[in-house]
Amino acid sequence: MTATAPRPDGPAHLPLRWAGGETPFVLWHFDFDGDRWAAVHTGDLHDGTPVPLRIESACLFGHVLRSAQCDCGYQLDEAMHTFARQGRGLLLYGIDQDARGLGIAAHFAIYAMRQQEGLDTEAVYRRLDAPVDARSYEPVAAILRHLGVDSVRLLSNNRRRETFLQEAGFTVERAPLEAPLDVHNMSTLMLEKEDLDYAWSFETHADWLRPLQESVLGSPGRSRAYAVVPGSGTAAGPLAAAEDDGEWRLAEALAAAMPAELPAGPLVVYLTDLPRTDELAVYAGLGAAVVVVPFAELPEPLRRAAAAAGVRLVDWERGNAYPGPRPQWRPAGESDGLAAYVREDRVRLVPADGSAAALDAAELRCRSTPERYHEVRRHGRWIELRPTADPGRAAADLLTEPAAARPAAAPR
């Protein structure tokens, strides 16, 4: 359906403060049956060359409150600074397009579902019974025709906008407008690339996770890790790669493989499996801002450990779900110098404070009660058990029994 531009409100002539000075702009307001748009332009729109054009969807969080979690504020600033410096350009602003066309109320609901319920993009929009992108660009075409613009230089990485304008009969050349990745906006922009096919130049979490996961398929005891600065290119490979050597010390192996100097940008660690809680502090010590795992749900102890270490733990199952079950060592708790992890019918115990005393005592106790454990194996700094009863209950018992009740370690 083709929209016809209604009689606009305006023009209003205002000096706007961008690029360190005041630039005269002309402002218009259009109302397409409640779908409101503003047109803001400076310079001659009809000098025979493509008009620099930015199509901007309203974002209360990014434009007004200056959220660091999206790139909306950055893109608006860059476009308007460009127009002011060059003395020519056109901004079309969708006043009612917050949350990709769903509105401000939906935008708040989306944040609540993501942050409080941990829902992924697809689950959020299923809950809202709405498409991931509900925006219509018919008003854009109508406004451009009203202003007599038929050739544009589109400041955007949104392929859909480019395609729409071309199909509507406009001559379009696209100029990328891309915010630098940082720890705050990284996941949002990668979601846009994966879900909306934005032409971002950087790789997404999925691009880095996929080869790691493929390399461990069919090997449940094998774990791998990459250290990466996103944007450095998958062809160049990761900054460092490591594989578990069977001693459950992947974080240490990655630390040993790290280069002495790191390029600028946020360092991200990609893992094939869930880390131990103590490993998150190791990754933080390497300078990692983000640790990404290919799972949809993260155990709460891992989330707490990540917060304490100052790293962001990101779940990224999405298109990276393993084709079959991949059992994980999940934290079962910590107490009195021990941390316990459970996977299927087995329990692992590791020192929670780096001291072997509690581990020695636990090993002695388990070996002295063979009726409760089919197997007790020591692997240097950790113990693996196969209890006769429920492994979760066995882990809880090992952690909650008073230290005084544990058999004492043999005297030196």
Catalytic center residues: 133, 135
- Concatenated DSSP letters of 339-354: EEEEETTEEEEEESSS
Give the pairing type, strands 171-175 and 240-243.
Answer: unpaired
CA distance 140 to 329: 52
Query: Quick one: which of 187, 62, 180 has its CA closest to 118?
Result: 187
What are the tokens at 64?
Answer: 């007004």
CA distance 399 to 38: 63
CA distance 175 to 78: 12
Query: Quick one: which of 129, 72, 128, 66 has its CA closest to 98?
Result: 72
Tokens 């063979």 correspond to what residue? 370
Indicate left, alpha or beta for 365 from its phi (over 0: left) and psi (-120 to 50: alpha).
alpha
Q: How far is CA 382 from each of CA 57, 60, 247, 332, 377, rounded to the nearest angstrom?
A: 54, 50, 9, 15, 9
What are the tokens at 322?
Answer: 């393993």
